[in-house]
């Protein structure tokens, strides 16, 4: 029987144009197959079939206007209604899944709690002066102990929670704290023991410590200007070594590899380890920070400079933590979309406690918890110092971070005290030791480690008679040996073990260490540690002795590296450990297959004139993406990323079509569920809808753009944003993305100072191209017409994703609607579009006077209109050039100029600008919707009079027409300035210019827009 397919609810729109028929009569279709594309002036969407069967008749054609309820086609043989009633409703299904999951989890927990071997806990009564009834307190505590013993921690936790709830309901104002006492999170009896050989691991660690310090000292002895850091790695060596020996699995043909974000300025430690592993040689160590010649070791992790070694640039504080969070999120995205296997891979990020002050460092921790990123582990090295001094001299950074992360929903593991403290804490029957630990501020902790055991005895243990008594049998040396958790491999191992087994939330290991650990008087725990890059002979001797490095005094004086023989137990051990863990880390490789670029004709509809139909380039881009989603090679690899602007760019159709990624699916019936573009969240959703979060969106873009190396799958991220909130907002991330060799598209939508009319000063972008030009591997384009955009986009797909060039594209698109002409048929047009300019129009009627117009973006249209007026009203000929990229033209010019200067004896090469304009007649007037500096970039590469117009100054809200008049880039100004230029060049009389200025009411006395 025949069924009707009607236009569904398309939201607020009526009379929307059909722009494509995607099916034919007689064709067999399945439910959800797209049948037509419709386009309003704001967005274009495909209408999917709600029925399956054979198409009997199609009732619409291209160009028809349709509204809700109109008949699209008749289908024969359908017996399926578009209805969800036959399946379990989405939210019910989710509910069932959720319930099943939580049942499983509960059972797991019960098994887990029963398995823990628990030492009978002793009651530690924390001394508190405000305790008005200590006896009552101890009764409560005893009851709690009994519960823990009998029914376990979970039960105790439940009871406490109920008590708090009850007190809250009774009106008690209970102060809330996210903090636990200043001791390790993992009790001694629950510490998982390492099966490693501790002696040999210590020896290896000592050698790595020595070699990394030696590398920095040697480099600075030779060239004192080079800089470098010793103190940071010295504090973090154990944190890294335990990971390297026991936890971090490398990428190989069987496993995707854990991803480790190393703290930027601990790089010397990574080089020193690679030296022992035989991956770097002495000569390379000696070229630390000398990166100009091949083989030098980069100052910090920079994949651009060491593309086979470093994976993640981290040295700009705060980027690493955010990038790592989004990397972990992206890994889950790939898994949930079925693009990679779930192999239990982890993302580890090493951060400094000072670095945590950066807003970015904490900016996305909520997302990590919300998305249950249990594949993510932060390790914060709390050496209590940053560059200038203490991180929190008057407070406690570890407690502060604990509160913040716990509050955000993370699993927090504090590693504060080393094993030597265990017996003291066990004997602290009165709770005074914990009391001192809680009371002592970081400034004091730091000062103590800059002194000696006697000082610690007096200042720390001396605070109370009970604590003084506790250490009465210890010598000052014993006291000095009381170690911090982050320097104790047992404690670190236990923390990592627990972190890597945690399910359902991200983990942060907060480890307490000493900055400059082992550096002695000149560098340990002192405010200047961070910048210590030279050690004198006494310090070096001390360092050697402290870590038992087997070097003679003479060798120490020569600051020699130490590498044991290939067959030594140390080297064998280090290699065996890495073999067990699958290979070396860090190592950057890629085995991703290229994505075949779509056929040339995929964007053919963009080469035709749109006739009278008006369209913005943003809309043209969305159309292109819709086309791409039909290309089987490309479709699944697209990663559209949007920070809450899909509707602004007319992309809401993507919500239904490919879904919004949501790790928990959609637990609710969306408000607009009846509509075609309803808000659809799905576990396998493709769109990354990041919310109002440009930094996060950019981090996702980088994760997806480096997928080819981190996950061995080439992906095509396309991040669309308000161009004003692009580079200037996330510039540092863009730089990191470039360093990481991210491949993908950045689309600065609603671009241009006057093209975006109503939004005003903070929205109107007149400079993003200049910022884009600062990044060497960023190709940027400012196209005007749909075929230019399509040509650039396809080339980008080909170069980046098929040919695997390490470049990325920044393309601006606009929201101005206008008709688009057909692509010129000259062969050179495509080449010109890609190189940066081509001739789009020539006015040739009078052959008297001529001017060359160079226009970019929407201002090109003002120039074409101005040229027409000049021809018609002033008999002046012109050639109009569409400049798709002043940036690319400048790059070409720079290179050609350099070649010519370096080869004075040779025939000079011509820049592309000169090739285009060298033989043309008349002066040049260039303009764009950006600052004049944008077009001025090419001035040096053409030996002709060159003038420019642009939108220098603060943006402001007004109509497009008024804005263009204000910034003097409308067609009237093009005419007046054009005449003036010709008068100045003595090609016409000045009276024409004067008349035009008057005619168009151009106020000569108005100050420069930059002054308004």
Ligand X SMILES: Cc1ncc(C[n+]2csc(CCOP(=O)(O)OP(=O)(O)O)c2C)c(N)n1
Binding site for ligand X (CB under 6 A): 232, 235, 265, 315-318, 352-355, 381, 383, 385-387, 391, 515, 530
355 binds, among ligand X, Mg ion, none (CB under 5 to 8 A by kind): ligand X
Binding-site size, Mg ion (CB under 5 A): 5
559 binds, among ligand X, Mg ion, none (CB under 5 to 8 A by kind): none
Alpha-carbon distance of 400 to 382, in angstroms, equals 11
| Identity of the residue, 232 or 636, whose beta carbon is nearer to ligand X in the bound complex | 232
Q: Write down the H helix ranges in 345-451.
A: 359-363, 365-370, 397-408, 422-426, 432-439, 442-450
Is residue 641 within 8 Å of residue 701, measured between CB atoms? yes
Closest contact distance (angstroms) between CB of 584 and ligand X is: 24
948 binds, among ligand X, Mg ion, none (CB under 5 to 8 A by kind): none
3-state secondary structure of 780: strand
| Identity of the residue, 310 or 654, whose beta carbon is nearer to ligand X in the bound complex | 310
387 binds, among ligand X, Mg ion, none (CB under 5 to 8 A by kind): ligand X
Q: Give how far the C-alpha of residue 618 lies from the chain's centroid of Cα atoms, to the nearest Å.
A: 24
Is residue 640 within 8 Å of residue 839, measured between CB atoms? no
Closest contact distance (angstroms) between CB of 236 and ligand X is: 7
- For residues 875 to 914, the per-residue mask of contacts with Mg ion, x marking binding by CB under 5 A and - elsewhere, is ----------------------------------------
| Identity of the residue, 289 or 563, whose beta carbon is nearer to ligand X in the bound complex | 289
Nearest alpha carbon to residue 327 among 385, 393, 383, 256: 256
Is residue 552 within 8 Å of residue 562, measured between CB atoms? no
> Which residue in the shown chain puts its C-beta closest to ligand X?
352
| Identity of the residue, 509 or 814, whose beta carbon is nearer to ligand X in the bound complex | 509
Edge-to-edge order in the sheet of strand 347-352: 259-261, 347-352, 376-382, 507-512, 411-415
65 bridge partner residues: 17
3-state secondary structure of 675: strand
639 bridge partner residues: 717
Burial of 86 (0-12, 13-18, 19+ CB in 10 A): exposed
Closest contact distance (angstroms) between CB of 384 and ligand X is: 8
Alpha-carbon distance of 938 to 985, in angstroms, equals 20
Is residue 772 within 8 Å of residue 810, measured between CB atoms? yes
265 binds, among ligand X, Mg ion, none (CB under 5 to 8 A by kind): ligand X
Length of the chain in terms of residues written: 1012
315 binds, among Mg ion, ligand X, none (CB under 5 to 8 A by kind): ligand X
353 touching Mg ion, by CB under 5 A: yes
The set of residues, in sequence order, having a beta carbon less than 8 Å from that of 213 and lying 6+ positions away, is 230, 234, 268, 519, 535, 543
Alpha-carbon distance of 423 to 572, in angstroms, equals 35
486 touching Mg ion, by CB under 5 A: no
467 binds, among Mg ion, ligand X, none (CB under 5 to 8 A by kind): none
383 touching Mg ion, by CB under 5 A: yes
6 bridge partner residues: 71
| Identity of the residue, 203 or 515, whose beta carbon is nearer to Mg ion in the bound complex | 515
| Identity of the residue, 737 or 978, whose beta carbon is nearer to ligand X in the bound complex | 737
In eight-state DSSP terms, residue 298 is: P
Closest contact distance (angstroms) between CB of 349 and ligand X is: 12
Nearest-5° angle of CA 976, CA 982, CA 987?
140
Count of C-beta atoms within a 10 Å radius of residue 898: 10
Binding part of the chain for Mg ion, among 110-118, 172-180, 344-352, 369-377 by CB under 5 A, reads 344-352
In eight-state DSSP terms, residue 29 is: E
Is residue 980 within 8 Å of residue 993, measured between CB atoms? yes
Binding part of the chain for Mg ion, among 113-121, 352-360, 480-488, 690-698 by CB under 5 A, reads 352-360
| Identity of the residue, 231 or 766, whose beta carbon is nearer to ligand X in the bound complex | 231
| Identity of the residue, 385 or 740, whose beta carbon is nearer to Mg ion in the bound complex | 385
| Identity of the residue, 235 or 636, whose beta carbon is nearer to ligand X in the bound complex | 235
Closest contact distance (angstroms) between CB of 541 and ligand X is: 24
47 binds, among ligand X, Mg ion, none (CB under 5 to 8 A by kind): none
Q: Pick from 303, 318, 320, 352: which binds Mg ion (CB under 5 A)?
A: 352
Closest contact distance (angstroms) between CB of 379 and ligand X is: 11
700 touching Mg ion, by CB under 5 A: no
Alpha-carbon distance of 692 to 465, in angstroms, equals 56
Closest contact distance (angstroms) between CB of 383 and ligand X is: 5
Q: Which residue has the tokens 């009319």?
A: 757
Closest contact distance (angstroms) between CB of 301 and ligand X is: 12
Q: Pick from 354, 518, 705, 748: which binds Mg ion (CB under 5 A)?
A: 354
| Identity of the residue, 714 or 739, whose beta carbon is nearer to ligand X in the bound complex | 739
| Identity of the residue, 232 or 934, whose beta carbon is nearer to ligand X in the bound complex | 232
317 binds, among Mg ion, ligand X, none (CB under 5 to 8 A by kind): ligand X
| Identity of the residue, 301 or 650, whose beta carbon is nearer to ligand X in the bound complex | 301
Q: What tokens were used for 770?
A: 């200049």
Nearest alpha carbon to residue 918 among 852, 825, 977, 871: 852
Closest contact distance (angstroms) between CB of 239 and Mg ion is: 12
| Identity of the residue, 352 or 650, whose beta carbon is nearer to ligand X in the bound complex | 352
Alpha-carbon distance of 300 to 595, in angstroms, equals 32
Closest contact distance (angstroms) between CB of 388 and ligand X is: 8
> What is the rounded radius of gyration, in angstroms, for the C-alpha atoms of the chain?
34
- Separation in Å, CA 734 to CA 354, 642, 763, 765: 23, 16, 19, 17
264 touching Mg ion, by CB under 5 A: no
Q: What tokens were used for 260?
A: 């480790």
- For residues 301 to 340, the per-residue mask of contacts with Mg ion, x marking binding by CB under 5 A and - elsewhere, is ----------------------------------------
**Residues near Mg ion (CB under 5 A):** 352-354, 383, 385
């Amino acid at each position: 029987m025949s069924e009707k397919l009607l236009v569904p609810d398309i939201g607020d729109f009526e009379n929307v144009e059909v722009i494509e028929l995607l099916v034919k009569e007689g064709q067999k279709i399945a439910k959800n197959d797209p049948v037509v594309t419709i386009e309003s002036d704001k967005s274009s969407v495909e209408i999917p079939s709600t029925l399956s069967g054979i198409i009997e008749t199609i009732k619409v054609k291209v160009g028809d206007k349709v509204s809700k309820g109109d008949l699209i086609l008749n289908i024969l043989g359908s017996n399926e209604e578009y209805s969800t009633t036959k399946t379990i409703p989405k939210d019910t299904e989710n509910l069932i899944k959720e319930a099943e999951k939580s049942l499983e989890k509960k059972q797991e927990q019960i098994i887990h709690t029963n398995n823990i071997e628990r030492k009978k806990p002793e009651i530690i009564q924390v001394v508190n002066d405000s305790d008005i009834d200590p006896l009552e307190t101890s009764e409560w505590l005893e009851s709690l102990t009994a519960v823990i013993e009998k029914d376990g921690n979970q039960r105790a936790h439940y009871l406490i929670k109920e008590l708090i709830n009850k007190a809250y309901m009774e009106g008690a104002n209970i102060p809330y704290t996210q903090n636990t006492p200043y001791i390790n999170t993992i009790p001694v009896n629950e510490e998982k023991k390492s099966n490693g050989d501790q002696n040999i691991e210590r020896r290896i660690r000592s050698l790595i410590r020595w070699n990394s310090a030696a590398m920095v000292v040697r480099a600075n002895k030779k060239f004192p200007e080079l800089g470098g850091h010793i103190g940071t790695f010295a504090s973090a060596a154990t944190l890294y070594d335990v990971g390297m020996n026991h936890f971090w699995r490398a990428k190989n043909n069987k496993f995707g590899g854990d991803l480790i974000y190393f703290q930027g300025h601990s790089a010397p430690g990574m080089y020193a380890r690679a030296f022992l592993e035989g991956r770097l040689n002495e000569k390379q160590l000696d070229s630390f920070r000398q990166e100009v010649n091949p083989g030098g070791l980069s100052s910090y992790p920079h994949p651009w400079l060491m593309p086979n070694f470093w994976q993640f640039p981290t040295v700009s504080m705060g980027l690493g933590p955010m990038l790592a969070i989004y990397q972990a999120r992206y890994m889950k995205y790939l898994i949930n979309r079925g693009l990679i296997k779930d192999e239990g891979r982890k993302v580890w990020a090493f951060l400094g406690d000072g670095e945590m002050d950066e807003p970015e460092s904490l900016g996305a921790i909520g997302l990590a918890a919300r998305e249950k990123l249990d594949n993510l582990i932060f390790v914060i090295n709390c050496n209590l110092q940053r560059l200038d001094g203490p991180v929190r001299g008057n407070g406690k950074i570890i407690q502060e971070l604990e509160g913040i992360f716990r509050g955000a929903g993370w699993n927090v593991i504090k590693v504060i005290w080393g094993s030597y403290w265990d017996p003291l804490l066990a004997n602290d029957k009165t709770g005074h030791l914990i009391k001192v630990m809680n009371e002592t501020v970081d400034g004091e902790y730091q000062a103590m480690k800059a002194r000696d055991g006697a000082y610690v005895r007096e200042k720390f243990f001396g605070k109370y008679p009970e604590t003084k008594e506790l250490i009465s049998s210890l010598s000052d040396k014993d006291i000095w040996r009381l170690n911090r958790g982050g320097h104790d491999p047992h404690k670190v191992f236990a923390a990592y073990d627990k972190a890597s087994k945690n399910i359902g939330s991200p983990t942060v290991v907060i480890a307490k260490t000493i900055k400059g650990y082992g550096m002695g008087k000149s560098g340990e725990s002192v405010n200047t540690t961070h910048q210590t890059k030279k050690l004198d002979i006494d310090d070096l001797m001390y360092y050697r002795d402290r870590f038992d490095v087997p070097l003679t005094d003479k060798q120490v004086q020569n600051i020699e590296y130490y590498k044991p023989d290939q067959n030594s137990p140390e080297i064998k051990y280090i290699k065996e450990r890495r073999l067990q863990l699958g290979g070396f880390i860090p190592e950057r490789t890629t085995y991703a297959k290229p994505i075949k670029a779509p056929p040339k004709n995929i964007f053919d509809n963009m080469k035709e004139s749109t006739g009278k139909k008006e369209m913005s380039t943003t809309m043209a881009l969305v159309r292109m993406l819709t086309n791409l989603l039909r290309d089987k090679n490309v479709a699944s690899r697209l990663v559209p990323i949007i920070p809450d602007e899909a509707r602004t760019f007319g992309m809401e159709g993507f919500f239904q079509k490919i879904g919004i990624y949501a790790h928990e699916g959609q637990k609710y019936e969306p408000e607009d569920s009846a509509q075609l573009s309803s808000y659809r969240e799905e576990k396998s959703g493709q769109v990354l809808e990041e919310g109002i979060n440009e930094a996060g969106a950019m981090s996702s873009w980088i994760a997806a753009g480096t997928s080819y190396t981190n996950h061995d799958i080439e992906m095509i991220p396309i991040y669309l944003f308000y161009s004003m909130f692009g580079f200037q907002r996330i510039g540092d991330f863009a730089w990191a993305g470039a360093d990481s060799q991210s491949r993908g598209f950045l689309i600065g939508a609603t671009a241009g100072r006057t093209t975006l009319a109503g939004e005003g000063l903070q929205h109107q972008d007149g400079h993003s191209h200049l910022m884009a030009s600062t990044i060497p591997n960023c190709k940027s384009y400012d196209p005007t017409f749909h075929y230019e955009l399509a040509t650039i986009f396809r080339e980008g797909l080909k170069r980046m994703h098929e040919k695997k060039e390490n470049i990325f594209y920044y393309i601006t698109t606009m929201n101005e609607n206008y008709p688009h002409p057909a692509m010129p048929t000259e062969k050179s047009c495509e080449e010109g579009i890609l190189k940066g300019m081509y001739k789009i129009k020539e006015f040739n009627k009078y052959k008297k006077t001529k001017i060359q117009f160079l226009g970019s973006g929407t201002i090109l249209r003002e120039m074409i209109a101005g040229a027409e007026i000049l021809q018609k009203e002033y008999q002046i000929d012109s050639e109009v050039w569409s400049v798709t990229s002043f940036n690319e033209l400048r790059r070409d010019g720079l290179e050609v100029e350099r070649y010519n200067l370096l080869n004075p004896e040779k025939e000079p090469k011509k820049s592309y600008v000169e090739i285009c304009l060298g033989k043309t007649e008349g002066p040049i007037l260039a303009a764009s919707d950006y600052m004049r500096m944008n077009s001025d970039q090419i001035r040096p590469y053409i030996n002709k009079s060159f003038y420019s117009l642009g939108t220098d100054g603060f943006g402001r809200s007004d109509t497009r027409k008024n804005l263009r008049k204000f910034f003097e880039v409308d067609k009237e100004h093009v005419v007046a300035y054009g005449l003036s230029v010709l008068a100045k060049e003595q090609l016409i009389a000045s009276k024409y210019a004067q008349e035009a200025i008057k005619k168009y009411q151009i106020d000569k006395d108005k100050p420069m827009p930059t002054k308004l």
